[in-house]
Structure 1
Amino acid sequence: MSVTLPLDSLDGYRRFSRFNSPYPAHDDGRAVDLYPEAGRGISPVSGVVRETRTVGCPDRPYAASEDHLIVVDLDDEWCRRAGAEPGTVARVLHVIPEVSPGDRVAVGDDLGPTTRSGFFGQWVDDHVHLGFRAPDASALRASGSLPVAVDVAVEPVPWDGCGTVIERGPTHVLLDAPTHPDPGGTFAALASDEGVPLDGGLAHYAGGGVFGGDSAGRLDERTTATLFGTRVGAADGRGLAWDPVDVLANGERVVGLSLFAARDAGYGAKVVCPDREFEIGEAVSLGVVPSDDPIRLGAG
């Protein structure tokens, strides 16, 4: 059993990813992260709020010391549209709830402001984590989510790996390339050499994925992905297991490359590089090479 997120569930969100996280909930594509336009958690589902809960999270100097969970009993009609069993439950994280148990929410309703949670890295933008549980499963346990697919076409964007730094953060830089083919319209993502849009943290998380697959998001077992001439991964269920590779920026190793689907004009390659300094306007050329000791970041 799986859940397929309808296109209108992405209204109010500029980006999404199923694999760009080290946490088990994203293993095998069992959750989706939705990146909002303006720091608000817009409901991607319809139903009745069952409960809200405040939870502790990893201690990070740049993040809040607590996070929040919103549990929604989904409407039968929303479940039908998503191919989910009636009684399926949604779990929303990283939103400070401005809704209460018993409140009815529809797709597009404002649930509250997003919070900068210690559950994600400093280079990760604020987002809404969405997962689903079967009717008879616990909605409070950290594990047990259903596989999630997203009913939207993502346009593959080819790129030669070259760009210019246009933004610097404490642990990342943003390049001006690749450029979005239709800003504000379709979703797009960096393409593999085979022309398949890629998703995930390459290769600082153990696995990633592609946008596509069958109706449940599962990949053909023969699927492989190559980037900049080097094989980077092979099919592993609904995702890709990354090969042992390093991402290079101007010939030196960086932590990795953050991959996602986007429809905003600010789309460009996000290079995770906490130990490297790049200047605004600096030209950067990315490459991928096999590695005997690849960087792998955990959830701790």
Structure 2
Amino acid sequence: MTGPPADDGAADSDAPEATVTLPADVVERYEKFSRFNSPYPAHDHGRAVDLYPGAGVGRSPVAGVVREVRTVGCPDRPYAAAEDHLIVVDLADEWCARAGAPSGTVARVLHVIPEVDPGDRVAVGDALGPTTRSGFFGQWVDDHVHLGFRPPDANPLRASGSLPVAADLHAEPVAWGGTGAVVERGPTHVVLDGPRRSGSGPAFAALASDEGVPLDGGLTHYAGGGTFRGKVGSTVPDGTTLSLFGTEIGSLRAGDADAGAPGVEWAPVDVLANGERVTGLSLFAARGDRFGVKVVCPDREFEIGESVTLDVVASDDPIRLGVG
């Protein structure tokens, strides 16, 4: 989960609604991506994207000239660095044209220790510096580049009022029965060996709802989640009810960026692992034929190789993690 500094929630009332659409060849440089896997408002409304490089190097998803670098405070977490960093980039007109962004749009990059300076010109794929473990995101979250955009003439240090973000690619929706073996274990999570994809189709894949919609976000430990663009040519109407493992988990909400991948208002449900409640599922689009599901479970221990069956059940007191 990520959260930029000065993120006070609602978008500025006069902010343009042009959507910045990341080209497919930019997103495909990363191992995973997510727009909704965070409790922070910018993510909750599809106005930021997290890009996971997987190699400890924060590579630039944009082209332009560095305007400013700044060290910022972040929540005090025992597993995290005491500070985070913001890199502001004035985007090149050519990059803006490819992404459908107004000329003069500014990019905001977080969670990278800057090895660039104001005035430096950066291209897509250039190393900005090493990624950092930030108190803005949970212990179970992998290092990543947080990316948002501010319209021309807006305060680039603010997150509120950022432009909607979309990705110009599709994620294969992969159905899964909910049972898998533990292949990775961390202090607050485990990763299961399912689901598996066919190996063909789009570069990215994501866990599918029962209706075949690829899911994004923290199910349901963050109040809002989202979806990815599914099969080419397919559309899912706003308000469509989604379910997982036979239980309703929420409905698509209108008004978010990128109508092909709207947000979801999660229903009040709990996630169970082998019959006991866990915090939730951390969902994203990932490359590879076996991308795994990450189970957030700081109060449970599972052994490598242990079989885990997930269920979703209605709840009177669902877990909801905030930004504090």
TM over 0.5: yes
- Between the aligned partners of 2:203 and 2:193, the Cα distance in structure 1 is 19
Matched, 1:224 2:224: no
- 1:45 corresponds, among 54, 62, 72, to 62
In the alignment, does 2:200 pair up with 1:176? no
Aligned to 1:118: 135
Q: 2 CA distance for matches of 1:182 and 1:118?
A: 36
Equivalent residue, structure 1, for 2:3: none
1:1-300 to structure 2, matched below 5 A, reads 1-182=18-199, 186-212=203-229, 220-236=237-253, 237-238=255-256, 239-264=263-288, 267-300=291-324
Between the aligned partners of 2:243 and 2:101, the Cα distance in structure 1 is 34
What secondary structure is seen at the aligned counterpart in 1 of 2:298?
Answer: coil
Q: In the aligned structure 2, how far is the partner of 1:115 from the partner of 1:58? A: 14
Q: Which amino acid aligns with 1:252?
A: E
- Counterpart amino acid of 2:207? L
Alpha-carbon distance, 1:212 to partner: 1.9
Read off the aligned partner of 1:143 and give its amino acid letter: S
User: CA contact under 8 A between 1:183 and 1:264: conserved in structure 2?
Assistant: no
**1:12 shift after superposition:** 3.0
Deviation at residue 141 of structure 1 after TM alignment = 1.5
In structure 1, distance between residues paired with 2:113 and 2:282: 25
Residue 19 of structure 1 contacts residue 201 of structure 1 at CA under 8 Å; is this kept in 2? yes
Q: Deviations over 1:146-180 (max 9, x none)?
A: 11000011000100000011111000011111124
Q: Is the 8 A contact 1:222 1:234 kept in 2?
A: yes
Q: In 2, Cα distance between the equivalents of 1:52 and 1:184?
A: 39
Query: TM-score scaled by structure 1?
Result: 0.95
The Cα of 1:136 is off from its aligned counterpart by 1.9
Output the CA distance in 2 between the equivalents of 1:113 and 1:187: 24
Aligned-partner Cα distance in 2 for 1:191–1:73: 37
- Consecutive unaligned residues of structure 1, counting only runs of 5 or more, are none
Percent of aligned pairs with the same residue?
A: 75
Report the residue type matching 2:97 in the other structure: R
How far is 1:111 from its partner?
0.7
Distance 1:188 1:142 in 2: 29
TM-score, normalisation: structure 2: 0.88
What is the DSSP-based 3-state SS (H/G/I as helix, E as strand, rest coil) of the residue aligned with 1:13?
coil
RMSD between aligned residues? 1.7
For the Cα contact (< 8 Å) 2:203–2:288, is it kept in 1?
no
CA 5–297 in structure 1, closer or farther in 2 if over 3 Å, else same:
same
Q: Deviations over 1:168-225 (max 9, x none)?
A: 1000011111124339971000000001100000000001000028xxxx97322221
- What letter matches 1:13 in structure 2? Y
Separation in structure 2 between the aligned mates of residue 100 and residue 107 of structure 1, nearest angstrom:
16
1:15–1:264 Cα contact (<8 Å) kept: no
Aligned 8 A contact 2:85 2:112 in 1:
yes
Distance 1:148 1:46 in 2: 16
Deviates more, 1:201-210 or 1:233-242: 233-242
CA deviation vs aligned residue, 1:8-61 (integer Å, no higher than 9, x gap): 222431000000011112121000000013111111011111010000000011
Q: CA deviation at 1:76?
A: 0.8
Are the aligned partners of 2:62 and 2:91 in contact in 1 as well (CA < 8 Å)? yes
> Any idea what the Cα deviations from partners look like across 1:260-293, whole Å, max 9, x if unmatched?
0000466201000000111111111001011100
Q: Which has the larger displacement, 256-265 or 117-126?
A: 256-265
